[in-house]
């Protein structure tokens, strides 16, 4: 009996040793996998200096596209981790730093003091970001870059290198250009003679190209599309209004897309946690609508929407329609837009 108990005890000890060993090996394996993923991502990427600023350099177009696609499928923290590993402060760094600092100002209940602190931040970020020059109750930073998907790799000057070729981001010339472009697609419900957001509600209509938005008295939601290569990216913006003014916040977005270029081109949806994880990988052989409900996302989040595969000998073309509403905006008040990429 004692021998049996001794054998059982030894087996238990041996089993625990194996479990501990396996657990350690699993942890080591996970760490090595994470390291290898970052190392693989950084292959063909280096850092140099241009115009007195650090800049990311990609060996070729392949390494550039690989990094761009990867970063736009990850969390903001992972995008920052990548660029900071090279000591480069990117447009994404500046945008989310500004949003964080301005969000803290919402705790100030004195409007005059709030505006004073906000003006200090505007001066600090004025060389990198834009601010609303039309409405004085808008406490939100805006990116200058039209192709927002390159923000995680573009430095303070909006620059990066592919080989020896310097690439410069396409900037908005002013906040007015961004603002007026957004208002082109106003529906008839929105009084076009009056453009003060704080006083009027409305939605975009199908004359709005590659952007759709909806605005109520205290909520705003929009989706913007952009293209690099054969990928289409989307940026989601959401804002709320308090008695102090408009601030960024987070919400759940509802989206509907219809791509209409089949069979000349096929849209392949990028399945991810951000986009809503549909049951099946979406394509558009019949021009079927793609309906998405995202997870909780903060203002300014961008991600890859999908890829367009072109049927030879056709050229790249992506057309269709899109709609947006959110947890704070009813579907009946959704905004519309047209998709058009040559």
Question: Contact at 8 Å (CB) between 313 and 253?
Answer: no
Element holding 172 (H helix, E strand): none
Radius of gyration of the chain (CA): 24
pLDDT at 200: 54
**What DSSP assignment string belongs to 210-277?**
SEEEEE-SSEEEEEEEEEETTEEEEEEEEEEE-SS-EEE-EEEEEEEEEE--TTTEEEEE---TTTT-
Q: Where are the domains of the chain?
A: 45-183, 185-191+199-342
Burial of 103 (0-12, 13-18, 19+ CB in 10 A): middle
For residues 229 and 94, give the distance between their C-alpha atoms in angstroms, rounded to a whole number.
25
| CATH class for the domain made up of 185-191+199-342 | mainly beta
Q: What is the pLDDT of residues 27-42, one digit of tens each?
A: 444 444 555 677 888 8
Contact 153, 67 (CB under 8 A): yes
Q: What residue ranges in the chain does DSSP mark as E strands?
A: 45-50, 53-58, 129-131, 141-143, 159-162, 165-168, 202-203, 211-215, 219-228, 231-241, 246-248, 250-259, 265-269, 290-298, 301-310, 318-326, 335-341
Contact 211, 310 (CB under 8 A): no
The segments of the chain whose pLDDT lies below 70 read 1-36, 181-200, 273-287
The pLDDT value recorded for residue 189 is 45
Q: Is residue 321 a contact partner of residue 245, using CB atoms and an 8 Å limit?
A: no
State the pLDDT at residue 277: 52
CA dihedral 329, 178, 148, 205 (to 10 degrees): 40
Handedness of CA 38, 43, 48, 50 (dihedral sign): negative
What's the DSSP call for residue 314? P
pLDDT score of 315: 84
In the prediction, which pLDDT does 243 show?
92
The model's pLDDT over 132-159, given as tens digits with 9 standing for 90+, comes to 988 889 999 999 999 999 999 999 999 9
């Amino acid at each position: 009996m004692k021998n049996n108990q001794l054998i059982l005890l030894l087996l238990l000890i041996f089993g625990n040793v194996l479990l501990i060993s396996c657990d350690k090996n699993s942890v080591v394996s996970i760490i090595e996998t994470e390291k290898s993923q970052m190392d693989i991502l950084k292959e063909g990427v280096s850092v140099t200096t241009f115009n007195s600023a650090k800049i990311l350099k990609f060996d070729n177009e392949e390494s550039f596209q690989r990094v761009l696609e990867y970063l736009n499928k990850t969390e903001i923290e992972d995008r920052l981790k990548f660029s900071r590993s090279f000591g480069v402060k990117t447009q994404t760094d500046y945008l989310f730093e500004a949003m964080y600092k301005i969000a803290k100002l919402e705790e100030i209940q004195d409007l005059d003091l709030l505006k004073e602190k906000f003006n200090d931040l505007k001066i600090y970020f004025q060389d990198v970001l834009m601010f609303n020059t039309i409405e004085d109750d808008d406490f939100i930073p805006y990116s200058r870059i039209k192709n927002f998907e390159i923000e995680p790799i573009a430095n303070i000057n909006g620059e990066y290198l592919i080989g020896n070729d310097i690439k410069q981001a396409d900037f908005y010339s002013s906040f007015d250009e961004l603002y007026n472009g957004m208002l082109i697609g106003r529906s008839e419900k929105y009084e076009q003679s009056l453009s003060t957001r704080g006083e009027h509600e409305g939605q975009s209509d199908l004359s709005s190209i590659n952007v759709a938005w909806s605005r109520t008295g205290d909520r705003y939601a929009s989706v913007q599309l952009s293209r690099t290569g054969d990928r289409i990216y989307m940026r989601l913006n959401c804002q709320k209004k308090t008695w102090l003014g408009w601030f960024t916040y987070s919400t759940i977005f509802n989206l509907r897309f219809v791509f209409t270029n089949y069979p000349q081109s096929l849209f392949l949806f990028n399945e991810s946690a951000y986009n809503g994880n549909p049951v099946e990988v979406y394509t558009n052989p019949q021009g079927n609508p793609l309906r998405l409900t995202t997870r909780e996302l903060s203002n300014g989040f961008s991600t890859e929407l999908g890829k367009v595969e072109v049927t030879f000998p056709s050229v790249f073309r992506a057309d269709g329609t899109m709609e947006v509403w959110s947890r704070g905006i009813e579907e009946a008040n959704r905004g519309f837009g047209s998709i058009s990429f040559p």
